[in-house]
Amino acid sequence: MFAALPASIAFALNFAHPLLMWVLLGLAAYAMFLGIKAKKTRTATAEDRKELIKGQFAKRHYLMGSLVLAVLVLGFVGGMAVTYINNGKLFVGPHLLVALGMVCLIALAAALSPLMQAGNLIARKVHVGLNMTLMTLFLWQAVTGMQIVNKILTAPAP
């Protein structure tokens, strides 16, 4: 089915996933920034809160987090699809397994949203812990992903 793909398109597909993931890492960092500002708004004095509320940080954090969730899941599936298209198989190794764990972490973190909106402090702390773990793994994935890109670039042509 995929044998009809020209070699240049198949080769170019190798870079769609890494580029998307680098953009996503930036978006995730921005979502984290918004979450920190939302916490600052919640815990600020009444006088400071009036000014911080104008930034709508909680709403923007929620929307950005939703975008990060959607793109992370699509990027995970897309990365597997490109690997399968180009190689006829998946390589089950640390990069794939950590990515699977990241999808689970972000789903769990997002699932805590209703509890956090109800004011549950434990859910908020677990949400932050899950997302800090996610960001740490995401940074590790960036390194291992670039190692994979390097392998693709230095591999002899078939």
- Higher local confidence (pLDDT), 86 or 11: 86
Question: In what helix (H) or strand (E) does residue 46 lie, and over which residues does it extend?
Answer: helix 46-53
Sign of the CA dihedral running 4, 7, 12, 13? positive
What was the pLDDT predicted at 72? Answer: 97
- Higher local confidence (pLDDT), 156 or 124: 124
pLDDT in tens, 83-125: 898 889 999 999 999 999 999 999 999 999 999 999 999 999 9
The structure tokens listed for 140 are: 């590790």
- Higher local confidence (pLDDT), 158 or 33: 33
The structure tokens listed for 130 are: 């899950």
Q: How confident is the model at residue 153 (pLDDT cuts 50, 70, 90)?
A: confident
From the centroid of its chain, how far is CA 38? 20
CA 61, CA 28: separation in Å to the nearest integer?
10
Do residues 131 and 32 make contact, with C-beta atoms less than 8 angstroms apart? yes
Count how many residues are written for the chain. 158
What was the pLDDT predicted at 117? Answer: 94
Query: pTM of this prediction?
Result: 0.89
Mean pLDDT of 2-11: 68
What was the pLDDT predicted at 110? Answer: 97
Q: Which amino acid is at 97?
A: L
CA 95, CA 146: separation in Å to the nearest integer?
11
Q: How do the domains of the chain map onto residue ranges?
A: 2-149
- Higher local confidence (pLDDT), 3 or 5: 5
Q: Which amino acid is at 32?
A: M
pLDDT in tens, 38-74: 999 999 999 999 999 999 999 999 999 999 999 999 9
CA 21, CA 23: separation in Å to the nearest integer?
5
Q: What is the tally of helices (H) and strands (E) in the chain? A: 6, 0
Query: Which CATH number describes the domain made up of 2-149?
Result: 1.20.120.1770
CA 145, CA 98: separation in Å to the nearest integer?
11
- Higher local confidence (pLDDT), 131 or 8: 131
